Structure 1
Amino acid sequence: MSKNHKSSSTEPASDKALTLPSSVAGSGTLDRLVDTARDYAKASTAENTNKAYATDWKHFARWCRLKGTDPLPPSPEMIGLYIADLAAPTGPSPALSVSTIERRLSGLAWNYAQRGFALDRKERHIATVLAGIKRKHARPPAQKEAILAEDILAMVATLGFDLRGLRDRSILLLGYAGGLRRSEIVSLDAHKDDTPDSGGWIDILDDGVLLTLNAKTGWREVEIGRGSSDQTCPVHALEQWLHFAKIDFGPIFTRTSRDGKRALEARLNDKHVARLIKRCVLDAGLRADLPEKERLALFSGHSLRAGLASSAEVDERYVQKQLGHASAEMTRRYQRRRDRFRVNLTKAAGL
């Protein structure tokens, strides 16, 4: 194995992505711009995605070493063997799902691009193996249960009216009405540019609240109107939390003190949303016909998004815009309860 190859396989992709031509290397000003450009390049993908891609590369590089080969330059034949080993491993490692294998391929393609190589996933040694894996192992995607209108009302009814209760009520109602991802909920700030790790901010207006979000698909605005009563209104719940928590700057949803009487400065982790949903599902008695373990497995942060998509009796395009989906087909995947034959194309075609 050559020294250059060894270096390329171990150094982080972000450090190899941007370099200066030898003719201008050593310029202090340009060196600083390279560092700035690297920061922007790193920000082109979400932090969790960067971590996953780094893990994908380490796993593949280690697999190559164990097989006595080098990860660089890319070899479609070896990558085809690699994904076959992921789907049907010979050792103690569990077989990976099709979606995870596809994610691994995306991670490898990204890492190769940072190192100046192109990985063609349509190359026959990769594409045919992946197609075979899909035919043999693919399963319909496991969908989380949708939290419908009656469910969310039962869930918020289990919460108290202390500071934590006000916060969690606001999280559930805002997440449901906005069709928000759990990461989007906790990333909100009171104003634009309040904190470096902000994922968006809010503007409370007479008719509702406007969220400006920097989400997976880019910037988007989410309008959440006022509800029919204070008890179920997400905007009123948000106002109550902000007022009693005395939050007018920085993260909207923060931790509270041990006695529950003060809001702290630390932003909540998105895992809090998942834990909150599962706790309230149990407390509200949702799907009580199932054992507790199965009930907990049915619900997650995506249950809020699926609930909005399934419950909102409006034109599908408005739901699509609210969820930030690029296609109507993606929105339909979130709809657990809809009239599939409301538009009968058979009759419309004259049959």
Structure 2
Amino acid sequence: MSQIIDENDQIQPPGHSAPPHGTAAPADVSATWASADLPSPLPMADAALPAQLRDLTERARGYVEAASSANTRKAYASDWKHFSAWCRRQNLSPVPPDPQVVGLYITACASGTTERGMKANTVSTIERRLAALGWNYAQRGAQKLDRKDRAIATVMAGIRNKHAAPPRQKEAILPEDLIAVLETLGRGSLRGIRDRAMLLLGFAGGLRRSEMTGLDLGRDQTEDGRGWIEIFDKGALLTLRGKTGWREVEIGRGSSDATCPVAALEAWIKFARLAKGPLFRRVTGKGKDVGPDRLNDQEVARLVKKTALAAGVRGDLSEAERGQMFAGHSLRAALASSAEVDERHVQKQLGHVSAEMTRRYQRRRDRIRVNLTKAVGL
């Protein structure tokens, strides 16, 4: 295993020798190999390049960034920073990729010894960290990380066998709960009108957080938009770019304006005086103004958790337990669990590629739909 650490605890790339004692590592070295910023596989625009090639380089870099979501890029950057920091503390180098080093790292992650006071990572977190390392090595033009090497694959298999557990699903906010949740929102405030529209639209559409906050009022209105809305007499049509590509989500009008997602959406657009750009925005000026900035998708999770707690949903549990049970996925799970229609319609609405994935979101359903015991005559 390579150990290329200088006296200033700076990680050096292959081929570099550590500088003399007391000499700082070159700034570009530490920025390239120890930074949390995601790298680009394309060369930086150079003044020596013709102008048209510099422009193409910048455009290509934009496409590279668009190849993954902002949340994925943020997670991968954080994972590379985490791995680099662990390597520094162990006097190891993260480059070139060394399966033995990575094997020791995921062992530390599983045992909670990557840094003082940290808990052991879950299996899913460790798998994501491995994916992030492979991606980062590829983007930095380094040698490919061989995840099938026994120093990684065998350790990872043991981690899965020893620590894997069923996923902890978020609690669904069912229709009867949603009505109570909506009552916690102020009817006369801009923030309350916006939050009501978000909850009802997220519930009826089975939307992901990023799909909801990525909506614009019309097509091609913003560079960071991930879809747009169209409102008709019978309901609303959302055109979304999600994990599985573009899809359309139809949301019909409800039986009552109090719980109708389309009516709530129209009220928000009217009172916020929106004409173009992001649909869901920050409310500013002590709740009296609407800013131009798009809401962060984390705001959806916070809204669901805050209102579910305020409404007393699952009041049979402690507040600490309830606080862990609700998030943005509670709305998607609610639609999957509540819609009394053919499962295929729910699958299409949620944008799932398989019925099995849709069933994972169903919190209440007939679990034993096919009785094989009786089918064999027992």
TM-score by length of 2: 0.84
Judging changes above 3 Å, is the alpha-carbon distance between structure 1 residues 183 and 15 closer, same or farther for their aligned structure 2 residues? closer
> What residue is the counterpart of 2:343 in the other structure?
316
> What residue is the counterpart of 2:61 in the other structure?
38
> What residue is the counterpart of 2:160 in the other structure?
134
Which consecutive residues of structure 2, in runs of 5 or more, have no partner in the other structure?
Answer: 5-11, 17-28
Pick one of 133, 136, 139 that aligns with 1:108. Answer: 133
Say whether residues 1:80 and 2:106 are aligned partners. Answer: no
Pick one of 71, 95, 102 that aligns with 1:48. Answer: 71
Judging changes above 3 Å, is the alpha-carbon distance between structure 1 residues 263 and 34 closer, same or farther for their aligned structure 2 residues? closer
Matches within 5 A, 1:1-351: 1=4, 4=14, 7=29, 9-10=33-34, 15-19=39-43, 26-90=49-113, 92=116, 93-116=118-141, 117-162=143-188, 163-347=190-374
Matched residue type, 1:236: A
- Write the deviation string for residues 21-59 of structure 1: whole angstroms up to 9, x where unpaired: xxxx83432232122111110111111211221222222
Superposed displacement of residue 325, structure 1: 1.9
Judging changes above 3 Å, is the alpha-carbon distance between structure 1 residues 13 and 5 closer, same or farther for their aligned structure 2 residues? farther
Matched residue type, 2:148: K
Separation in 1, partners of 2:36, 2:323: 38
Separation in 1, partners of 2:288, 2:77: 41
Aligned sequence identity (%): 60
Which consecutive residues of structure 1, in runs of 5 or more, have no partner in the other structure?
Answer: none
Separation in 2, partners of 1:16, 1:197: 20
Judging changes above 3 Å, is the alpha-carbon distance between structure 1 residues 284 and 345 closer, same or farther for their aligned structure 2 residues? same
Q: Which has the higher helix share?
A: 1
Separation in 2, partners of 1:36, 1:267: 24
Other structure's SS at 1:145 match: coil
Other structure's SS at 2:257 match: coil
- Write the deviation string for residues 166-198 of structure 1: whole angstroms up to 9, x where unpaired: 211111110000111222222211011222221
Q: Which range moved further: 167-176 or 206-215?
A: 206-215
Matched residue type, 2:198: I
Separation in 2, partners of 1:308, 1:324: 12
Separation in 2, partners of 1:269, 1:247: 18
Judging changes above 3 Å, is the alpha-carbon distance between structure 1 residues 334 and 298 closer, same or farther for their aligned structure 2 residues? same
Other structure's SS at 2:259 match: coil
- Write the deviation string for residues 65-90 of structure 1: whole angstroms up to 9, x where unpaired: 33343322222222111111111144
Matched residue type, 2:123: V
Please say if residues 123 and 163 of structure 2, whose CA atoms lie closer than 8 Å, have aligned partners that are also in contact: yes
Separation in 1, partners of 2:36, 2:268: 42
Q: Which range moved further: 282-291 or 218-227?
A: 282-291
**Structure with more contact order per residue of length (Cα contacts < 8 Å, sep ≥ 6):** 1
Matched residue type, 2:267: Q
Matched residue type, 1:115: R
Superposed displacement of residue 15, structure 1: 4.2
Q: Which range moved further: 284-293 or 295-304?
A: 284-293
Matched residue type, 2:366: D
Please say if residues 304 and 328 of structure 2, whose CA atoms lie closer than 8 Å, have aligned partners that are also in contact: yes
Please say if residues 14 and 42 of structure 1, whose CA atoms lie closer than 8 Å, have aligned partners that are also in contact: no
Other structure's SS at 2:324 match: helix
- Write the deviation string for residues 80-106 of structure 1: whole angstroms up to 9, x where unpaired: 111111111445232211111111001
Please say if residues 214 and 220 of structure 1, whose CA atoms lie closer than 8 Å, have aligned partners that are also in contact: yes
Please say if residues 304 and 327 of structure 2, whose CA atoms lie closer than 8 Å, have aligned partners that are also in contact: yes
Matched residue type, 1:301: G
Matched residue type, 2:43: T
TM-score by length of 1: 0.90
Please say if residues 38 and 76 of structure 2, whose CA atoms lie closer than 8 Å, have aligned partners that are also in contact: no
Q: Which range moved further: 276-285 or 108-117?
A: 276-285
